[in-house]
Chains A and B, each alone.
With several copies, the nearest count.
Chain A
């Protein structure tokens, strides 16, 4: 039995529900061992308007079942991205979304305008886990008004599908999710990394040069499943689940919890073919439980 794995995320039709997460797949040009047939979409490494050098090493620390990273959004800036990658993306048989980042709502808007209509760019994912310099460095994603402002700034300047990637370190993710939906998001990605710290007992300083980093990997999965579920309960646009997916069963937890699709990040570091294995494992689960398509999978999504 072949299972129909296609999903629609807003206007984007994806051949499968397993996507490569931003910052863990470069610009889609590395990872030679992946069976790309299984790739639903790629979200490229987050970029700013201008090139950024990133943070000094150490940039990563392993933690129990997880890792902290502080890459500092190293990247070529939007012009470099368009110049070096977009034309390649236009040739691929799966969509590439660009993860966009800014220090002001206006910067997000400018990025959206610049990327609008560029062949190869299939959509935008707004990373709102960025410090808002106009609001004294608080993350955009921590405040429903700031999150909505960024979403609106992007929405106004592009016809591309707009996804908003939520930050997990909030009191009530449902409030932020609804604010982004109301501001015009086509879908939500839940969630980005949690802020963490690790101390080196030799230097008695943080191990990361940036002091703190974002925690990813299986350690956060139960938290991510809960937050993605809460977001899915709060809105009627699709939610893409992410956080600690290593295998198909992990992805299925997010799908059952109400997500339309999933993204795989850290797992690709460990197993370059992780995305294909997750994809095939989901298909096998569906087949063995008698479902002809992913759409038939029953969801656990009580609405209060």
Chain B
């Protein structure tokens, strides 16, 4: 875990209102794994840091992808190239992508695309073929950057690709990884109990000390999304207790 004052070095738009920020954070770029996140803070800004999956890395840079869903994300998107953002990370447990399985489906809804480019890279390094399945409400909201041997688009309104949810568009693969609104992940859990899902919760610290990021477990009790998670075996979560109305849901 590193605490880095990272200069904002670039920004690009990848869907309507959805942006990728590049931050210069060498230690994090070199150590992060797919599914892990960084906790971003800035001043003046909100009291608490905001968690974001690492979207891509490139040399000394990490990228995060976001939309303005509240005051904090709006402030991040108002920053200019001279600004510095405090990055704490990498945090949390990564996707498990050890060699063995031959194919993986990366299933994302809306901003749930966030951990997928790194996952694609690691899966390919582990010898898997990658099926990229990305969905959103409508074509304008699809993240234009895709990275799979096969790419499947899905939109609720049918404006591009499969008309329906990303989940219903997934073909057979050995492994399923998913990220998106918690409601979508609950559907993933019904179909693929062994899928690896990256969940979203509100977080206080991101480092395991506050117990604010409670994830209700199917076996009872709670885990910490920031420490034992954010990646879980889909069937291990009690989806009826995990709040669904979080920002991923707003934006997907």
Given A57-B202, A59-B202, A202-B245, verify A272-B214 contact (CB < 8 Å).
no
Interface residues on A, range: 35 or more
Which chain B residues lie closer than 8 Å to A203 at the CB level?
245
How many whole Å from A51's CB to the nearest CB in chain B? Answer: 9
List the count of A-B residue pairs having beta carbons below 8 Å apart. 100
Q: Please measure, in the bound complex, the distance between the C-alpha atom of A160 and the C-alpha atom of B245, giving whole angstroms.
A: 46
Which secondary structure dominates chain B's binding surface?
loop
Do the beta carbons of A53 and B221 come within 8 Å of each other?
yes
Decide yes or no whether A43 CB sits under 8 A from chain B: no
Do the beta carbons of A58 and B202 come within 8 Å of each other?
yes
Give the residue of B48, B221, B222, B245 whose beta carbon is less than 8 angstroms from that of A62: B48
Decide yes or no whether B211 CB sits under 8 A from chain A: yes
Interface centre among A25, A26, A269 (most CB of B within 10 A): A269
Residues 58-86 of chain A, each 1 if its beta carbon lies under 8 Å from chain B, else 0: 11111001110101001000000000000
Do the beta carbons of A66 and B47 come within 8 Å of each other?
yes
Decide yes or no whether A167 CB sits under 8 A from chain B: no
Do the beta carbons of A60 and B245 come within 8 Å of each other?
no
Decide yes or no whether A141 CB sits under 8 A from chain B: no
Which secondary structure dominates chain A's binding surface?
loop
Which chain B residues lie closer than 8 Å to A33 at the CB level?
1-3
Decide yes or no whether B161 CB sits under 8 A from chain A: no
Which chain A residues lie closer than 8 Å to B48 at the CB level?
62, 67, 269-270
Do the beta carbons of B47 and A62 come within 8 Å of each other?
yes
Which chain B residues lie closer than 8 Å to A269 at the CB level?
48-49, 204-207, 209-210
Decide yes or no whether A31 CB sits under 8 A from chain B: yes
Residues 75-97 of chain B, each 1 if its beta carbon lies under 8 Å from chain A, else 0: 00000000000001000000000
A-B pairs, 9 with minimum CB distance: A269-B205, A60-B212, A30-B208, A26-B209, A57-B214, A71-B211, A60-B204, A269-B204, A30-B209
